[in-house]
Amino acid sequence: MNVGILCASIGFGGAQNTTASLASELSRQGHDVTLYIDKSRFRSLEDVGHLRIVDIPRDSPLSMLWGHCPARSLVSAIRGIRALKHQALLLMSDGHLPIAVLARWFCRVPCVYYELGPRMHARTRFFRGLVVANSEETRDLLANWLHRSAKDIPVVRARVNVERLSKAAGRAGVGQAAGRPVSIAMASRLEDEKIPAVLLVIDAVRMLSAAGRNVRLHIYGGGKDIEDVRKHVAKAGGECPADLVRIHGFVRSVPDELADRDICIGVGRGAWEGMACGKPTVVVGKEGLGGVVCPANLERLMRHNFTARGRRSKPDATEIADALRPLVEDPAHRRRLGGYGLTVMREHYDVKLGAAQIASVLGETSRQGVGSRGLGDALRVCGVVLLSFWLVVKEVGLWCLRPRVPMQSLAKAHALKNGRDN
């Protein structure tokens, strides 16, 4: 099948890695795949250089006007879609939904939208076509948002190259050598909404250390708030070892780093990478503790895409410390849960399964076609164009009204909220 895949996300993140994994696996399974991405900013861990790529740069301050790309990139995308005569398009982010609406009208190409998170954007309402969800939580939100039946929205979980990541599994669950600290790894961007979870984990590890557990926390990831996190670690040291928390910053391959760690803490794809490497994994998000990946928690974690969403209680570092304690104290327990997590990944999240599911959905969409142009389609085109202009006007208006004072970093705001002087 001749497939075009569009991804508006830039920088490192789950959407990019999912796009790269699915695109590469679809190609390995014999499909003709073209990626529509901002080539200079697409920095997934998985190489996509062997695929055909149409570059649609996101290089304009008002790029949101046409779905996160300027007008000339929109034209390039439509020209590419028309020239390559795709049988179907797969959209990996809502940013390019305007392109899909226009491609359906001008190029007569059916589209499938794969929603990778519970973020319901107004532009999604203008999409006409099959929608696929990454979890039951997202499926139910989409059904309510789009006024569709949940049974008409397939759930495709599998989007991780387990074979590539599990090369570190042979070193998983290594018992603690005499005198060696139990090493805990957390991979996260150090900015914006990711900061509260990072600070909760730091506090939990400090509690374990203060209680006499020989542990070390390794944080992998960069971001604009990294210095604030470092300051928080330095000022909150107390009686804990000086090297209790190490912030490594950006690393090219987190799975390679996980090979030397005993426990993984993550959310979403960060949790999957730990599981695929055979590490016992604890899910922690900005909402607090999601849970240890184990049979008792699996159904709930899968429903919420391995996040802590759905919690009703206030985030508490003590809960995280309590969840980590059995793993820190018992190497055999770590090995059991590490093997369990790897099995879950192979059975439910391997990209080979996901690519086959997506190919089936795309094939069915291609056979159904787009039908004839009608008034509804014309109204959708007009609606998505007007919405794009409105978003620009809204952003400019908010910028003009915004107070001209520096905003506190989320790290500092979180510390103050919890009664700590950062």
Residue-by-residue DSSP string for 110-124:
-EEEEE-SS---GGG
Tell me how crowded residue 366 is: count the other CB atoms within 10 A of its CB: 19
98 and 214 housed in the same domain? no
Tokens encoding 101? 């609406």
97 and 137 housed in the same domain? yes
Chain Cα centroid distance, residue 184: 21
Angle at alpha carbon of residue 317, lines to 137 and 255, rounded to 5°: 65
Q: How, if at all, do strands 32-37 and 52-55 pair?
A: parallel
**Owner of token pair 């206030």:** 314
281 and 341 housed in the same domain? yes
275 and 173 housed in the same domain? yes
Total domains, the chain: 2
Q: Residue 212's domain is classified under what CATH number?
A: 3.40.50.2000
22 and 86 housed in the same domain? yes
Q: Is residue 408 part of a domain?
A: no
Q: Is residue 417 part of a domain?
A: no
Q: Is residue 179 part of a domain?
A: yes
156 and 7 housed in the same domain? yes
Q: Which positions ≥6 away from 342 have C-beta within 8 Å?
A: 162, 166, 169, 172, 275, 276, 277, 278
CA distances, 168 to each of 22, 104, 185, 276, 404 (Å): 21, 43, 14, 8, 49
122 and 192 housed in the same domain? no
- Considering 326, 348, 370, which residue would you say is the last residue of a domain? 348
The reported pLDDT for the residue numbered 417 is 47
CA distances, 60 to each of 63, 367, 407 (Å): 5, 37, 24
Angle at alpha carbon of residue 308, lines to 303 and 313, rounded to 5°: 120
- Dihedral angle computed from the Cα positions of residues 67, 71, 76 and 81, in that order, rounded to the nearest 10 degrees: 40
43 and 137 housed in the same domain? yes
Task: Tell me if the pTM is above 0.85.
Answer: no
What 3 state SS string does 160-177 have? ECHHHHHHHHHHCCCCCC
| Burial letters 289-312, b for 16+ CB under 10 A, else e | bbbbbbeebbeebbbbbbbbbebe
144 and 170 housed in the same domain? no
The reported pLDDT for the residue numbered 175 is 46
Q: Is residue 421 part of a domain?
A: no
291 and 149 housed in the same domain? no
* pLDDT tens per residue across span 365-399: 888 877 666 677 777 777 777 777 676 677 667 76
Q: Which domain holds residue 53?
A: 2-161+351-401
118 and 230 housed in the same domain? no
Of the CA atoms within 13 Å of residue 7, those in its CB half-sphere come to 29
Q: Is residue 185 part of a domain?
A: yes
Q: Is residue 422 part of a domain?
A: no
Q: How far apart are the C-alpha atoms of 103 and 272, rounded to whole Å?
A: 34
Q: Is residue 59 part of a domain?
A: yes
Length of the chain: 422
The reported pLDDT for the residue numbered 410 is 43
* pLDDT tens per residue across span 400-417: 776 654 434 444 444 444
Contact at 8 Å (CB) between 42 and 7?
yes
Tokens encoding 280? 């016992």
29 and 156 housed in the same domain? yes
Contact at 8 Å (CB) between 61 and 392?
no
Q: Is 50 helix (H, G, I), strand (E, B) or coil?
A: coil
Contact at 8 Å (CB) between 169 and 278?
yes
The burial of 124, by beta-carbon neighbours within 10 Å (0-12 exposed, 13-18 middle, 19 or more buried), is given as middle
Angle at alpha carbon of residue 21, lines to 20 and 24, rounded to 5°: 80
- Considering 304, 325, 348, which residue would you say is the last residue of a domain? 348
Q: Is residue 420 part of a domain?
A: no
Consecutive 10-residue averages of pLDDT for the chain (422 residues): 85 77 92 89 76 80 56 81 92 81 84 87 80 93 92 90 70 54 90 88 92 92 86 73 86 80 91 91 94 95 91 88 95 93 93 93 87 71 73 70 51 45 37
